[in-house]
Amino acid sequence: MRLKPIIFFLIVGSLAGFFVYREVTRVGDPGLINIGQQAPDFTLKGEDGRPIKLSDYRGKLVFLNFWATWCLPCVEEMPEMEKLNKTFKDRKFQMLAVSVDTDWDVVKQFYKAHNLTIPAALDPGHQISGLYKVFKFPETFLIDGNGYVVRHTWSEHWANPRVMSLVDSLIQQQEAKQNTANQRAAR
């Protein structure tokens, strides 16, 4: 009689252990784009209608931000992103703000009201934000010059000196790689 409950709990425990082990050791698609993972390439149209392709920014640190005009944390984050963009725009740094709004006019009005110059693209059908598995806004990916995600965050204080220093160090890594490549090519 006591053997049945013991066998039952051994089977249930083994199954539970198997599923926990499988989740912990899973490689591939865990539901988020992870640090160290290759960033999915994409092409969107910018405000001027020209294509914007992520892979065109290889060699630079890419700041990829998903946002919306109706998102309060996005509104609060944008002025600090503008400061970051102005600070690093002449370096190996490319910022891209991908709005999930459905209309360019709304985004243009938002940019005008907040004096923004950050390069923007529109993702009205959420194809790109879906590709990146974005589930809340704002969501930002920092992507190195080889196309790998080096940081993934939500609603950050980008003008904070600690964060600015982190971004600066990531840009310096891209610049050092470029300098090394240039020196090798000169030999």
Reported for 72-76, long-range contacts at CB under 8 A and 24+ positions apart, including other chains, are 73/137, 73/138, 73/154, 73/155, 74/137, 74/138, 75/114, 76/155
Contact 76, 182 (CB under 8 A): no
- Quote the pTM value: 0.81
Q: What percent of the chain lies above the pLDDT cut of 70?
A: 91
Domains and CATH numbers, the chain: 29-186 (3.40.30.10)
User: Average pLDDT of 125-148?
Assistant: 94
pLDDT digits (tens, 9 = 90+) for 92-105: 999 999 999 999 99
Phi, psi of 96 (to 5 degrees): -145, 120
Q: Quick check: 158 pLDDT over 60?
A: yes
Of the pLDDT bands very low, low, confident and very high (cuts 50, 70, 90), residue 160 is very high
pLDDT digits (tens, 9 = 90+) for 45-81: 888 989 999 999 999 999 999 999 999 999 999 999 9
**Averaged pLDDT of the chain:** 89
Q: Quick check: 106 pLDDT over 80?
A: yes
pLDDT digits (tens, 9 = 90+) for 3-16: 887 888 778 777 77
Angle, helix 161-186 to helix 72-88, in steps of 10 degrees: 40
Q: Quick check: 117 pLDDT over 90?
A: yes
Q: What percent of the chain lies above the pLDDT cut of 90?
A: 68
User: Average pLDDT of 103-124?
Assistant: 95
pLDDT of residue 28: 47
Query: How wide is the angle at C-alpha 164 spanned by C-alphas 152 and 143, nearest 5°?
Result: 35
pLDDT of residue 29: 46
Reference 142, options 35, 60, 57, 62; nearest CA is 62
